[in-house]
Amino acid sequence: MDIATATITDLADAIAHKRVSAREVTGACLDRAAKCEPALHAFLELFEREAMDQAGAIDERVARHEHPGPLAGVPIALKDNICLSWGRTTCGSRMLERYRSPYTATAAQRLIDAGAVVIGKTNMDEFAMGSSCENSAFGPTRNPWDLSRVPGGSSGGSAAAVAAGVVPGALGSDTGGSIRQPAGFCGVVGLKPTYGRVSRYGLVAYASSLDQIGPLTRSVRDAALLTQVMAGADAHDATSSQRAMPDLLAGLEEGVNRLNIGVPRIARSDSNHAAVNEAMARAAVALSDEGAVVREVDLPHAGHGIAAYYLVATAEASSNLARFDGVRYGRRAELGPGDGLDELYRRSRAEGLGPEVQRRIMLGTHALSSGYYDAYYNTALKVRRLIRRDFDAAFESCDALLLPASPGPAFRLGEKTSDPLALYLEDVYTVGVNLAGLPAVTLRAGAASLDGRELPVGVQLVGPAWREERLLRIARMLERALPPVAVAPV
């Protein structure tokens, strides 16, 4: 069994039936991490000892014929804004460089309870603000398909680790595309569940009305499996839904009859890279070969998504990040004689927070300030409602919408760092989904040949709220109809 290409489903089965031990699998993943990390820098911390201990405990349960759980011995990685009661939870920020969480996030705990082994915490844009991993205070992650390019962001470390064959699955968080865009750049599957499907308890908040934890994996089935294990109500998160989660795995292969797929007109843009338009066409053909009716639909307000997102997200961020004041949380600056409390706040935040985080706190504070609240924040909320209504209308006639994951394939490190707006435009196809609270999944549908290298190109399927089961069935139909996903050549 090649552990670097195996799926979660296969690994859990092999471990539970003693064809391979959990320690062997975890050891192989740690070896692969050691080999890839110097080039990739996907991880902020690796837990060699704890992971081998966790794996050993699984092997003992298997030896005692106890059921070791659906994720028995499967190594996973967590984005570093997901709290774990061991190691550090830095959010890619100097502010939390030494922060040790006293508790584990519900989503991570449910995976661990199901037998998963956490091998490490992955790199990310600081506080999940960014689309390239270049905003990490600890240096960028590189794309395993081309080390001169970014892996996407903000869950870039998780996407790169899965694509490079270090782990078969990882968790990310998605506020405006941070699971789906890096999944596209790295050629893996990434799912953002419906808002409220997965508990946010223990996810360090960026924009609480948009944030959602989700999986990055090598197959649609694995994304379904991780989501199934994580999802469901949690007393610690009042926004987690009480709705029962349908069985995501049982009917996954059955497909969907008389499928209607909508392609929003906004997706056919001349400013997309040619390879993105090719991948879209290929996915549309693959779906109609499966019997789907593919037709154009209109999302009239989609063009305002970026503006609304960057107001709502920064407004919420400015309030969420106020807790990092150097007193209760985070790095505390050294004070000189005579310096007061204001100086402590000012200096701690200036030293602890990077330029993009500071920019967003200022933008958000401005959008919420008296005199501007109605003009900016309230207007953005109204646009948000219109965007949600557009999706509702589209889903009256469509089972899912097909969109690019991003306008182009992975760009070069440094290519967009001098122009924050250029980077914000990367999110044109992803932010609407968060504003509307919908589930969406990215998978690889093509490749771009750039500088003599093959780069993956992803497409996105978006579904109605709470219909992950059908969305994943459609994604599985598409996955089956497209060429299989390879492991990146690190």
Binding site for ligand GLN (CB under 6 A): 128-131, 154, 174-178, 206, 313, 427
Which residue shows structure tokens 């959990």?
Answer: 22
* Active-site annotation holder among 21, 132, 158, 178: 178
CB 124, min distance to ligand GLN, A: 8
CA distances from 327 to 91, 291, 322, 343, 473 (A): 18, 60, 11, 12, 48
| Residue 329 burial (10 A CB sphere; 0-12, 13-18, 19+) | middle
Q: Which run of H or of E encompasses 382? A: helix 379-397
Q: Which is nearer to ligand GLN, 206 or 429 (CB)?
A: 206
What is the rounded distance in angstroms from the CA atom of residue 198 to the CA atom of residue 182? 20
Q: Which is nearer to ligand GLN, 10 or 174 (CB)?
A: 174
Q: Which is nearer to ligand GLN, 51 or 204 (CB)?
A: 204
Q: Which is nearer to ligand GLN, 390 or 427 (CB)?
A: 427
Which residue shows structure tokens 């790295």?
Answer: 186
The yes-or-no answer on residue 121 being catalytic is no
CB 204, min distance to ligand GLN, A: 11
* Active-site annotation holder among 154, 199, 240, 241: 154
The yes-or-no answer on residue 416 being catalytic is no
CB 60, min distance to ligand GLN, A: 38
What is the rounded distance in angstroms from the CA atom of residue 229 to the CA atom of residue 232? 9
Is 78 strand, coil or helix? strand
> Could you tell me which residues are beta bridge partners of residue 381?
none
Residue nearest to ligand GLN (CB): 178
In the numeric block, which tokens belong to residue 173?
């968080």
Q: Which is nearer to ligand GLN, 126 or 222 (CB)?
A: 126
Is 188 strand, coil or helix? coil
CB 176, min distance to ligand GLN, A: 3
CB 317, min distance to ligand GLN, A: 9
| Residue 484 burial (10 A CB sphere; 0-12, 13-18, 19+) | exposed
The yes-or-no answer on residue 154 being catalytic is yes
β-bridge pairing 75-79 and 117-122: parallel
* Active-site annotation holder among 79, 121, 192, 416: 79
Catalytic residues, by residue number, are 79, 154, 178
